[in-house]
Amino acid sequence: EAQVTQNPRYLITVTGKKLTVTCSQNMNHEYMSWYRQDPGLGLRQIYYSMNVEVTDKGDVPEGYKVSRKEKRNFPLILESPSPNQTSLYFCASSPGDSRSGNTIYFGEGSWLTVV
Amino acid sequence: GDSVTQMEGPVTLSEEAFLTINCTYTATGYPSLFWYVQYPGEGLQLLLKATKADDKGSNKGFEATYRKETTSFHLEKGSVQVSDSAVYFCALSRRSNYQLIWGAGTKLIIKP
């Protein structure tokens, strides 16, 4: 089954304790990205990657890091989480192919609370 | 820059009512347009899409037509059900880097 899998789905952590949210896709997609969803603000892109070893900042990259060492994985790293990073996070992937109409596939989301 | 504006919610309707959720966009070039749906407690699912002007996307009884002249992509359904209660997001995709630009979302509540 084609899917985007992210873990953990739910996490409560403390300020300053480094954490990683993993994301993996099994569709051989070139493009992957991370979004955060906050009430009244819709989805905002954090980082994206057009291919292995290629990453770029989205609209709200501060406080986050990413890496793309393999095509299927795109982890999101919070080196020193703060309460304003409490949010719902989505990983997404896309074939990066105009024939797909740029359809993007989403993971189920990770609820992160920083106290 | 590129942007998407959709009507504020919540939108509350009775079952079998006609639904319209407005979405307008600002973009350079010719973006692809999407509607995504998020059911309570779940992730985002692609509902429908249109990749060029005058295209009509449809799925599960929902429809939206890519109107370049009015820069709109309004979502419609002829007869809504309680199970359609969800948050609906309109989005455009820049062809240059596949980045999605999102509307703020419209919460739809359908009452029996």
CB-CB under 8 Å, A101 with B32: yes
CB-CB under 8 Å, A103 with B46: yes
Compute the average pLDDT of residues A72-95.
95
Tell me if chain A has a CB within 8 Å of the CB of B111: no
CB-CB under 8 Å, B34 with A107: no
Q: What CA–CA distance (Å, rounded) separates B22 from B110?
A: 17
- Residue A41 is predicted with a pLDDT of 79
Q: Residue B45: is it exposed, middle or buried by C-beta count within 10 angstroms (0-12/13-18/19+)?
A: middle
CB-CB under 8 Å, A58 with B99: yes
Tell me if chain A has a CB within 8 Å of the CB of B104: yes
- Residue A96 is predicted with a pLDDT of 73
β-pair type (A10-13, A110-114): parallel
- Residue A98 is predicted with a pLDDT of 56
Tokens 């393999």 — which residue? A70
CA distances from A112 to A18, A21, B19, B71 (A): 13, 9, 33, 36
Residue A99 has pLDDT above 60, yes or no: no
Check the CA dihedral A60-B96-A107-B61 and report its sign.
Answer: positive
Residue A82 has pLDDT above 90, yes or no: yes
Tell me if chain B has a CB within 8 Å of the CB of A107: yes
Q: Is the CB of residue B64 less than 8 Å from the CB of residue B35?
A: yes
Read off the pLDDT of residues A6-65 as tens digits, 9 standing for 90 and up.
999 999 999 999 999 999 999 999 999 999 998 877 788 999 998 999 999 998 999 999
Secondary structure, 3-state, B35-79: EEEECCCCCEEEEEEECCCCCEEEECCEEEECECCCCECCEEECC
Q: What CA–CA distance (Å, rounded) separates A63 from A111?
A: 17
